[in-house]
Structure 1
């Protein structure tokens, strides 16, 4: 409704808009070229031209704040008031003193973004990632409240937001939705965390902007900051980890003249089998001794190549982002396939760095173009993306059911290729930001085409083609300095076509009283269309020390190919999974609240939520067992039920002094199925309640060290006895982690950054309820010392 009110009265309001313009000069009265000027509120930016001129167009009457931050000049701030006339401002900047050791530039753009977002939003920068480096970006981010991961090994993981994951969380990379094989618990995200400068985490129904899959929220990896004009430099990251003997490096190089630039990065990591604090495991009652407490065949290596380039004009910008991420990693040999007893332990234990079968190889190529241009009162963004995700799983051929005991030489599939997935994705986003008086409007469209082919002698999910298209409108109405109202409406249309799959081997069937053999059809051809209308309404009420947010919205998700057409053994779960071609789109209704208080010493924030699914899609265990394609594995069938979820996060921070601070983070989730065969039970992978206590000590300087810090985390995780069979209950546990680091001057005002972590200080043995390997009672990795060094350079 807010959107339609804004459109109806827009022209009258637009007629009253004015401009702020002027010139920018230095203390020698020379024009300053190519410097960014910022305006609040709303947040706008502009660049001074070749004569030092600048202009902010189409502003309503009111009070605005102009500010400039620059390494070369002293900071500038000035308030301007528009009262039915254009405002002319001549700005003279003074050169910054070069006697300072360091110039630290800060602005409140991110704080302002958080205050004006009706959903719960967290923003982390590269320094947070550097301090808390995990095996992957998602493992690094799980220190934040409400964020967990489903992990498999030391390098593969996928995010959970408030207990929901897989295709209910959207990961956006530089504006384009990241598409891989995210439906599988063992399929990690092909993201290089060294290339992530800023990450936004949105908790709550974000479907109206990010599309149908953002039921739980979105993780947006922002595009890296473009280099400053006339700059040439980079940095080198070095990292080492003791638990799996990881070593790696990430080399960054950039250069910019004026309007043209390039930015490139190469990342390489190599790691061995990771270690756990136990000597023996029991994989379905079969004892598995561990050589030197290492999980055999969990070694791997990763490579990331990135190249960015583009044109940066005053009114037009166009940047290309190219990346190619590759990895090869082993699966824990005793927990993959149908015969854990057949593992050649002696062969695997000869080296902790070899990658034998079973293993996976993944390559993800991504090409993104982001183009921005300003026309009158409109800021238009267009994003084009192409992705190619190629994933292969290799394993020794083992026959089951009616599969031939000897692999046929005539079969046109490599004998060790268990499964392969080959996905091509084409994406397009178009957004228009503009103001109509106090209404800040955004209108957008998203389109995506996916084509996924399969290969290998084993079958689980059919090949498919999927097309989606969405339109949305969003209105942020600045009622006054304290109150913001939000309204959004979105329509989506989707079409999915599953391709028929027929076995390559003959199976025996019964026709009346006679037996016969035939090639069985495992997946039928299926063509289905889906559409949905979703909405969101929210508000912000902001006082100097108090912030209140409320949002209610509907979101939806179309069933994915696995949920519709799966029909095979999941070797990672020792289960047989079957899809349901008649599943309906998943609907979700969610209410999010947030209350935050800030003072000079205290920060308190409480963020509760309530979530209801009328038809949640889940994998339901049945009484049936499969003997044709497996070894009597239990059959799991996709089904739908009503589900209720509620919980939230609480944050408490206290600044004892300028040097000592503490924080307390709490998260809780409760889920219950309200219908179906598992009525009364929770949902799989529901994380237990947990709390994190932190104590930090920071100094501006200590001897030759700059900004040294020392921080210790104490995490308490409750037991999880609220499970859905065949899940197993997990005990509670306590962990201690330590972080310390500092900066050291090297030359030309550059500072080397040192970061040291000790994860799981006391080598505690525990089970993470959201871990993939928790299903076989495999504990998480033991003590791990992580050292990273970042060395910047410029010319």
Structure 2
């Protein structure tokens, strides 16, 4: 009995001690925190790995990371990112979760000229199945074009539809307009994307980092991302207890542009304020020819200037935010105003009626035809971190007010003299007033090897019209979508992706009746009638899209593969257009029965990185079962357009395929070379234009670069001398009424350096664009239809003067 009692006590004591030791040594904890650089700016893409295990995470865009389920005791963590010195730190975790702040120091040998950060070196690209390239503010300053989209055109797969020297819109792999989503601070930028002459109201000086997603991204952004997306990110949040800013100065010789952008910011521990004001003024731009032909009319150009292409741009930005360890909320306010002219001989005016003397009197005045655009935007972005969850949300309001001015010219049955009873100004050709409300909500959840994202998006648009001409009806539109996206880390080398999304959209278009009577003939009877150009129409659309992909990463080799389905709902112009597009001298008619576009796409990315060189190949294949396009017919309108050809929106099957190639090699310590190439083939497989390509299909091209980055004494790093040689093939594969475009070669030069100025690094960049003043035609240009060559030689000088002060580094 005594032995039995003793045994019971022993067993109870044993289990009690086992339980205590299990609780003491078996409890799991979380380790998280922030990783920043020497300037206390967050670093994304840092690989954080636990020594002796396969646990690895990557910091997000705000520099945060979280490692879960660590055993109590001593743990060694390694922090590594290309361009920074890798470090290891040991932490003791015993009683509670641990939050840390780690600082990485930039390597001295970091290549300052690397511009496609995430395409070649970023860790983020290794965890995304889509083809993503990232450029930073340094790339933008070094390659400043007439607009942000023009600046990005240097990258393979990215082209623009140029509208003079100050406006342009993006093409991704040959697709543009409402097939490319532009995301500004997390919210879709909504303007009048459907027009070839409607540029994007984005201030490139306010863009700190731009992510370019090439390929279908509908599962993230919904409709309109069927070709890809361009995400514009603001500057990082200022350091604690800091005040500073910068002054950017820019000048261009071709159109005598001068401009400046001034940035001021300040922050205490939790609140910050960031502001920017941008102003640019430019004159008519010059082309390397003294005459052009507009529909067989000879147009003489005085001193090679394109009359009435001057403009002015003003951008105002104000950001106010609150930040702590777990929560941040930032309000972004911006107001972008532009006023620019259209080439007087190619916008709704017959070339022989243009008052050339008046337009040529000054190269800086803005006469009719012209456009004024005001884009006002308020966005709130908030992030809350709570354990395994990271909640992200955006709320947005924007108003895009666009006015097109032109002298009144009667067409068809319009009265010869503008009536006095009209309340619309006689020079207001068209007005579009779009108001958009947006809301996004996401929850990023980490569950073991899964990184799960749940999202909900909603948007409401109200678009009003005005003016004495009609093309697109007024409409209301709303859409709502939800998605689930999972990243599953199979092992250290393989990451799997799967996404599913559902969208519901409705559009309501309103009727429009001519303000003047037309003579309608029915048999032998003629009568006057106020023609209804657009009837009331309601349509709704539902769509399910999906995407699956995989990443395979080794030390030097990485492979990415993605297949998916995307969609795009038809827009108001495609459904209800019924009028003359004076920009193209065409009569356009919509089709109210159009179905949503459905697209299937496969993307592949193969990358190999060695010590002195790297290569990236990105082929893709794309199939549209019902691509929407503007089909030129054999008919001509005689009622409104004085005989203009009728273009009817239609749908057809389309196959597209192509690839981008990027190769970079370092010959010497200071000498690098780069080759960028792109190829695209598109063919319509059904409809009236079966066998033809698609409009605005860019030709194959290649860019070869040589850069010398000397290390100079008594001067900070950042000096470079660079030459670009671009070769573009002829585009003979066209769809009428497009014309074939001959090939061309261009040479551009760049140089830059940094100069110490009162303990600040003043940055100077110099470009010589089209050095040889080559006369060439850009196949995707707005003015290609009238064989108008692109801008001639242009010298661009930009200077960035930063200044900052830190009150208390602690």
**Normalising by the residue count of structure 2, what TM-score does the alignment of the two structures yield?**
0.89
- Pairs within 5 Å for 1:419-458: 419-458=430-469
For 1:485, the equivalent position in structure 2 comes to: 496
- Pairs within 5 Å for 1:665-744: 665-702=676-713, 704=715, 706-744=717-755
Q: Is the 8 A contact 2:308 2:342 kept in 1?
A: yes
Structure 1 residues 437, 82: closer, same or farther in 2, change over 3 A? farther
- Corresponding pairs, count: 760
Q: Is the 8 A contact 1:19 1:56 kept in 2?
A: no
| Residue 460 of structure 1: how far off its partner (Å) | 0.4
For 1:769, the equivalent position in structure 2 comes to: 779
Alignment equivalent of 2:763, drawn from 732, 753, 757: 753
For 2:630, the equivalent position in structure 1 comes to: 619
Q: Distance in 2 between matches of 1:649 and 1:245?
A: 35
Q: Deviations over 1:33-61 (max 9, x none)?
A: 9999977232247999xxxxx99464478
Structure 1 residues 21, 471: closer, same or farther in 2, change over 3 A? closer
Structure 1 residues 777, 389: closer, same or farther in 2, change over 3 A? same
Q: Is the 8 A contact 1:17 1:58 kept in 2?
A: no
Q: Is the 8 A contact 2:565 2:601 kept in 1?
A: yes
Structure 1 residues 195, 402: closer, same or farther in 2, change over 3 A? same
* 1:373 equivalenced with 2:388 (yes/no): no
Structure 1 residues 303, 490: closer, same or farther in 2, change over 3 A? same
| Residue 400 of structure 1: how far off its partner (Å) | 1.0
* 1:779 equivalenced with 2:789 (yes/no): yes
- Pairs within 5 Å for 1:269-418: 269-418=280-429
For 2:15, the equivalent position in structure 1 comes to: none
Q: Deviations over 1:439-494 (max 9, x none)?
A: 10100010000000000001000000110000000000011110000000000000
Q: Distance in 2 between matches of 1:756 and 1:219?
A: 26
Q: Deviations over 1:651-705 (max 9, x none)?
A: 1111001100001111000000000000000001100000000000002325546
Q: Distance in 1 between matches of 2:662 and 2:510?
A: 48
RMSD: 3.0
For 1:634, the equivalent position in structure 2 comes to: 645
* 1:552 equivalenced with 2:567 (yes/no): no
| Residue 520 of structure 1: how far off its partner (Å) | 0.3
For 1:43, the equivalent position in structure 2 comes to: 58
Structure 1 residues 137, 301: closer, same or farther in 2, change over 3 A? same
Alignment equivalent of 1:217, drawn from 225, 228, 246: 228
Q: Distance in 1 between matches of 2:349 and 2:254?
A: 29
Q: Distance in 1 between matches of 2:101 and 2:372?
A: 57
Structure 1 residues 524, 65: closer, same or farther in 2, change over 3 A? farther
Structure 1 residues 94, 546: closer, same or farther in 2, change over 3 A? closer
Q: Deviations over 1:502-539 (max 9, x none)?
A: 00001111345322111100001100000100000000
Q: Distance in 2 between matches of 1:61 and 1:669?
A: 53
* 1:790 equivalenced with 2:805 (yes/no): no
Structure 1 residues 122, 634: closer, same or farther in 2, change over 3 A? same
Q: Distance in 2 between matches of 1:571 and 1:459?
A: 11
Structure 1 residues 103, 762: closer, same or farther in 2, change over 3 A? closer
Q: Distance in 2 between matches of 1:238 and 1:780?
A: 25
| Residue 376 of structure 1: how far off its partner (Å) | 1.9
Give structure 1 stretches of 5+ with no counterpart. Answer: 1-15, 25-32, 49-53
Q: Distance in 1 between matches of 2:470 and 2:33?
A: 67
Structure 1 residues 433, 86: closer, same or farther in 2, change over 3 A? farther
Structure 1 residues 82, 539: closer, same or farther in 2, change over 3 A? farther
Q: Is the 8 A contact 2:442 2:454 kept in 1?
A: yes
For 1:579, the equivalent position in structure 2 comes to: 590
Q: Distance in 2 between matches of 1:469 and 1:395?
A: 38
Q: Is the 8 A contact 1:308 1:320 kept in 2?
A: yes
Q: Distance in 1 between matches of 2:111 and 2:561?
A: 38
Q: Distance in 1 between matches of 2:625 and 2:571?
A: 18
Q: Deviations over 1:210-234 (max 9, x none)?
A: 1111111100001321100000000
Q: Is the 8 A contact 2:434 2:463 kept in 1?
A: yes
Q: Distance in 2 between matches of 1:724 and 1:513?
A: 39
Q: Is the 8 A contact 1:454 1:462 kept in 2?
A: yes
Q: Distance in 1 between matches of 2:705 and 2:697?
A: 24
Structure 1 SS opposite 2:123: helix
Range with greater deviation from structure 2 (87-96 or 561-570): 87-96
For 1:10, the equivalent position in structure 2 comes to: none
Structure 1 residues 18, 175: closer, same or farther in 2, change over 3 A? farther
Q: Is the 8 A contact 1:326 1:364 kept in 2?
A: yes
Structure 2 SS opposite 1:504: coil
**Normalising by the residue count of structure 1, what TM-score does the alignment of the two structures yield?**
0.91
Q: Is the 8 A contact 2:149 2:170 kept in 1?
A: yes
Structure 2 SS opposite 1:731: coil
| Residue 314 of structure 1: how far off its partner (Å) | 1.2
For 1:610, the equivalent position in structure 2 comes to: 621
| Residue 710 of structure 1: how far off its partner (Å) | 0.3
For 1:190, the equivalent position in structure 2 comes to: 201
* 1:662 equivalenced with 2:673 (yes/no): yes
Q: Is the 8 A contact 1:368 1:385 kept in 2?
A: yes
Q: Distance in 1 between matches of 2:487 and 2:707?
A: 38
Structure 1 residues 80, 622: closer, same or farther in 2, change over 3 A? farther
Q: Is the 8 A contact 1:61 1:82 kept in 2?
A: no
Structure 1 residues 86, 530: closer, same or farther in 2, change over 3 A? farther
Structure 1 residues 693, 45: closer, same or farther in 2, change over 3 A? closer
Q: Deviations over 1:605-635 (max 9, x none)?
A: 1100000001000000001101111120000
Over alpha carbons, which structure has the higher Rg? Answer: 2
Structure 1 residues 521, 775: closer, same or farther in 2, change over 3 A? same
Alignment equivalent of 2:258, drawn from 238, 247, 254: 247
Q: Deviations over 1:724-760 (max 9, x none)?
A: 111100000000000000000001x211100000000
Q: Deviations over 1:284-311 (max 9, x none)?
A: 0000000000000000000000000111
Q: Deviations over 1:567-603 (max 9, x none)?
A: 0111110111000000000000000001000011110
Q: Distance in 2 between matches of 1:765 and 1:23?
A: 55
Give structure 2 stretches of 5+ with no counterpart. Answer: 1-25, 35-39, 49-55, 806-810
| Residue 112 of structure 1: how far off its partner (Å) | 1.1
Q: Distance in 1 between matches of 2:258 and 2:233?
A: 26
| Residue 794 of structure 1: how far off its partner (Å) | 1.9
For 1:118, the equivalent position in structure 2 comes to: 129
| Residue 86 of structure 1: how far off its partner (Å) | 8.0
Q: Is the 8 A contact 2:558 2:608 kept in 1?
A: yes
Structure 1 residues 91, 565: closer, same or farther in 2, change over 3 A? closer
Q: Distance in 1 between matches of 2:641 and 2:702?
A: 42
Q: Distance in 1 between matches of 2:314 and 2:558?
A: 43
Q: Is the 8 A contact 1:603 1:652 kept in 2?
A: yes
